[in-house]
Structure 1
Amino acid sequence: MKRLRWELLNALRAIGLAGWVGLALVLLCAVAWWGVATPMQEEARQLEADSTTLERRVRERAATEAPVVLTAQQQLAEFERRFEGEKSLTESLARLHAAARRQGVQLDKAEFKWVSDAREPLSRYTIVLPLKCDYRALRRFTREAVRELPGLAMEEVSLRRADAKSPLLEVQLRFVLFVNKAG
């Protein structure tokens, strides 16, 4: 037993720095495998099981539900119902202003124009916003505004920079907010 111990200690002294580094790396890899890879494999198995369950539910639901076929008129009516009504116009503008404030874009002034054609089910509310902001804030604001207001469409964007080194842009945004006359 003493001889075996002596030979082991002698071998450990003989491997040198490179051997110790290699041994440490092997030990580190083993710890990483049990600490990281094994839990990730378990999570992958769980996600695969969840995916299989969801696919089965979708197939079952598709088999039990008959597809609803809408006429063109019904599809158009359903589309028009998605737009907010004229009565909620003030609330929509407040949400647009709140989105600008959250993204650090200051709205000092705005121009509004109401266009309503008796033959059309939707009215157009044109909103022109002159802004001064950086490009990133502008992108975040426009993305949030369009997400927040489903009837909002960007009609025109004009960007100018006073100086090539200036981080601020002079922006003119023209949005059109479509609102349902019936609402």
Structure 2
Amino acid sequence: MLPKKRVKYLYVAMKKGDREAFEALYKLFYERLSKYILSISKNTVEAEDIAQETLIWLWESRKDITINSSLNAYLYRSARNRYMDLYRKKERRSKLIEEIRQDIIIYIENSDAVEKELRLKQLYAAIEELPEKCKEIFILSKLKRYKQKDIAIQLNISQRTVESQIRNGLLAIRSKLDIN
């Protein structure tokens, strides 16, 4: 760890637009913030993303922020707040996805055999109309029952992208089936 005076010097230089000072701060804090968030989230990708977002935000907001505590404490608090925001957002998404999923199940199940067959055909037609990547992710998740983490690995995309595509697919299907 660098002495406090050196960190303060780098911070002041960064506030004036010194990219090298920012890069030094980035190198100093990135791994530490990643490990801190990993200890909370247990998700390496999330932890690395949050550490990076926190430090990029520091650079982009350098002219507007005033840090009254230590830079170290400020960055840790900022990273934790970003994690908490992400956690709350994921909770809301999960609830929305579950509500939509239940709406679709009820839509199909609350019908006689002939109507159920028709509704299933409508469902599969709605799935076919999804954008290609969304459709692929939706099928892997909802029809083949892959875990989101496994889909992300298989398709070499982030887990957030998988979550977003599933949500977008469910919303599009609900709209196509005219389910309120």
Same-fold call, TM > 0.5? Answer: no
Greater share of residues in helix: 2
Which structure exhibits the higher relative contact order, with contacts defined as CA atoms closer than 8 Å and separated by 6 or more residues? 1
Greater share of residues in strand: 1
- Structure of greater Rg: 1
Q: What TM bracket, shorter-length normalisation?
A: under 0.3
- Give the TM-score, by structure 2 length: 0.23
